[in-house]
Structure 1
């Protein structure tokens, strides 16, 4: 089973939030959100394959989005979680969307932070190149380059530092396999864009140079809610954690109120800060 941690709600609430981190990271990236969330919600953090020491490796699985998603859901089943809010960041958002598309009974709604949608030719080309020769290059240099592509500039320095420390659990082989997952994710995003998911809330930084433009397009085409945070790059929950936390709690509180009223999460309206 994938490495995971379950935090029971301090107030006894039975609602659950499942947290999925991004590529190269692990559940430590939620450290600024966990104390707030666990006060009123059960929280389940799950480390994706090959992330965190001693975790299940991607090389032990079929290299597909579906295989990883089924491992995520196996953890949910272990805790008898039949339906939950899923919040992902970066690569984690792909699995939130994939589970919505193919295992919708598990997902109440998704909060998609720094969502990965379709990408431009440059980033697609890098993923394709690393999928072929990623295990033949110095791993530290490859991940250094990759993290700069995703999170460029001084603003993202803390995010890059955290992700590079977490990425120690990866190696050349696992990194190369994840490039195959990224390529599948880009293709899947083209399919997901054609679906209707008004229950989803997208939160992206206005300075997310890699994904913002395509994410806005995806949110519009799927009828999701799009929130753009100023002075913020790809990893909003770290770069602007205080503003993100206030926004996150506002979304959860309003969604809870709407659910209690008529069950229509799609009617949720949240203003950008």
Structure 2
């Protein structure tokens, strides 16, 4: 495990013993959760993490990744290291977009550490459109500035007028990435479908809530297929909402996710 530590910030509750860990998506940072802090800290202890190369973790040196790149396994173990550092034996996890894959990887590697999973704007499979997008990006990643690609991805994932704020946040955070860092994360895209196929066929025992915007057309159908196959999972659709549902519809996101954690967390405590 790495000796370097991801940047993280905690909010302590005066009475609760329950912890909630927030995991952002590729190109983002923990700032994506600013609309969750006020409501969540009324109920739980909170941990906000910046993943490798993102946000304030961009200044953290991971020597082995500079040589070899990294995998979903490596990035999930970074989160375990933060849990160990904070002496958190088990927690509830809330993720958005590609961060939802990391949470599921964590539940595979250390199931006793994950009490519940709230997967917002979940990525469970790349369909033809998203696969085509990834292939185009892979072809041009060495010759085109990565911010051009990222803006293109952001507009395709979040094309609607109501998604201006969330699209702008992702583009702003992505500017903090360097070209090499973007390429490292881009390489992970090739692992998404094989990994998620495995998770579809091998259900976790962890209670799971998928929170999806009804207009998240790129990822909604694969999520419905996943939920239909898994008895421990449920789906809640948020109306008039797209991919980054925690930013677009924070009140609904907070209400559904907090209620789910409270209703399902006790059995794994």
TM-score by length of 1: 0.89
Consecutive unaligned residues in structure 1, runs of 5 or more? 266-273
CA distance in 2, matches of 1:128, 1:63: 20
List structure 1 runs of 4+ shifted beyond 3 angstroms.
53-62
Residue 120 in 1 paired to residue 124 in 2? no
Shift of residue 220, structure 1, vs aligned partner: 1.8
Aligned equivalent of 1:5:
9
Secondary structure of the 2:203 match is coil
What secondary structure, in the 3-state scheme, does the structure 1 residue paired with 2:201 have?
coil
Distance in 1, matches of 2:108 and 2:176, equals 30
Contact 1:203 1:229 in 2 (8 A): yes
| SS in structure 1 at match of 2:212 | strand
Q: How far apart, in 1, do the equivalents of 2:140 and 2:230 lie?
A: 35
Could you tell me whether the CA contact under 8 Å between 1:135 and 1:175 is conserved in 2? no
Picking from 80, 85, 96, the partner of 2:87 is: 80
- Equivalent residue, structure 2, for 1:109: 116
Task: Say whether the 8 Å CA contact 1:17–1:43 is kept in structure 2.
Answer: yes
Q: 2:235 is matched with which residue?
A: 226
Distance 1:132 1:76, change over 3 A: farther
1:202 corresponds in structure 2 to 210
Residue number among 237, 241, 252 corresponding to 2:250 in the alignment: 241
Q: Is the 8 A contact 2:214 2:242 kept in 1?
A: yes
Consecutive unaligned residues in structure 2, runs of 5 or more: none
Equivalent residues of 1:88, 1:96 under 8 A apart: yes
1:269 match: none
Equivalent position SS for 2:142: helix
CA distances 1:211-234 after superposition (whole Å, capped 9, x unpaired) = 010011112212211111110100
Aligned residue in 2 for 1:133 = 140
Return the offset for 1:33: 0.6
- The CA deviation string for residues 190-217 of structure 1, in whole angstroms up to 9 with x for no partner, is 1100122361111001100110100111
Q: CA deviation at 1:5?
A: 0.7
CA distance in 1: counterparts of 2:246 and 2:125, whole angstroms: 22
Report what 1:251 is aligned to.
260
What is the deviation of 1:148? 1.2
Shift, 1:243, TM fit: 1.8
- Could you tell me whether the CA contact under 8 Å between 1:49 and 1:55 is conserved in 2? no
Structure with the larger RCO, 1 or 2 (CA within 8 Å, 6+ apart): 2
Question: Does the aligned pair in 2 maintain the 1:93–1:113 contact within 8 Å?
Answer: yes
Paired position in structure 2 for 1:93: 100
Partner residue of 1:50 out of 53, 60, 76: 53
> Per-residue displacement from partner, 1:78-127 (whole Å, max 9, x unpaired)?
00111110110001100111111222111011000010011112312322
Shift of 1:132: 4.7
Cα deviation for residue 130 of structure 1 reads 2.4
Matched-pair contact (CA < 8 Å) for 1:2–1:55: no
- Please give the alpha-carbon distance, in whole angstroms, between the structure 2 residues aligned to 1:97 and 1:65: 10
How far, CA to CA, are the matches of 2:60 and 2:171 in structure 1? 20
Bigger mean CA offset, 40-49 vs 53-62: 53-62
